[in-house]
Amino acid sequence: MYKILIIESDEKLCNELVKSLTENNLAVEFTHSGQESLLRFSRGIYMLIVLDVKLNDIDGFEVLQKIRNASCVPVLMLSAKKDVVENICSLKLGADDYMTRPFERNEFVARIQSLIRRHTVLNNVSALEKKLVFNSLEIDPNKRVVVIDGRNVELQAKQFDILFYLAQNCNRIYTKKQIYEEVWKREYMYDDNNIMSHISKIRKRIQKSSASIQNIKGVGYRFVEGE
């Protein structure tokens, strides 16, 4: 299951929001820091972001801009005051919805569910939810786990995303540029060492399976099932 990331400076409110979503069977991570939120965002994949306008370390609008520069993930902004200009600014910067405190928890959950449905339909997210099975190797995008012979294999977020991306089209060759832009969701920055480091670690993690990632010299990488 993909997760929701809540970025909220008010710890009490944050705990209430987390509780409301988990009670509705939604997986949630949270942080009170804008800096930490950007670090988490760079390392994981989220189905939706809940973002406080007024954070203690970074302005919420700055966080929104950085998220929107890298991803089209739905963002619901939260504010402590009724400010039309602030609302308009949020939407212009790419927020998908806006709520002013105080608000009913039922309405908050309903807004979240609506945004998830809309994003799922527009981007065909359900197509990404199919488990991939290659003999002893299983890749489950819903739980974000890799299993070999019934045992979980630990992968970092970017490593999982690279493996899943390559495995979706077994035997197809992908360039470093294609991998970077798909996984990092940003323009290719010739960060080849980073890509190669991640792939090297993936190879070690899945070496006990028959599947592997091949290096096609001068071209890129491809996932092969093996026997």
Q: β-pairing, 46-52 with 28-31? A: unpaired
Domains for the chain: give ranges and CATH numbers: 3-127 (3.40.50.2300), 130-224 (1.10.10.10)
Helices (H), 100-144: 105-123
Q: What is the four-CA torsion angle of 196, 201, 207, 211, rounded to 10 degrees? A: -50
Residue 127 confidence (pLDDT):
45
Q: Which of 29, 24, 48, 45 is nearest to 116 (CA)?
A: 48
Residue 121 confidence (pLDDT):
60
Structure tokens at 107: 């309405």
212 three-state secondary structure = strand
Averages of pLDDT over each 10 residues, the chain, 227 residues: 86 95 92 92 85 92 87 86 71 86 93 85 54 90 86 89 90 90 80 89 93 92 86
Structure tokens at 112: 């979240």
Give buried/exposed letters for 17-31 (b at 16+ CB in 10 A, else e).
Answer: bbebbeeeebebebb
Enumerate residues 6+ apart whose C-beta is below 8 A from 174: 165, 166, 220, 221, 222
Answer yes or no: pTM beyond 0.85.
Answer: no
Q: β-pairing, 3-7 with 46-52? A: parallel
Q: How many CA atoms lie within 13 A of 45 on its CB side?
A: 20
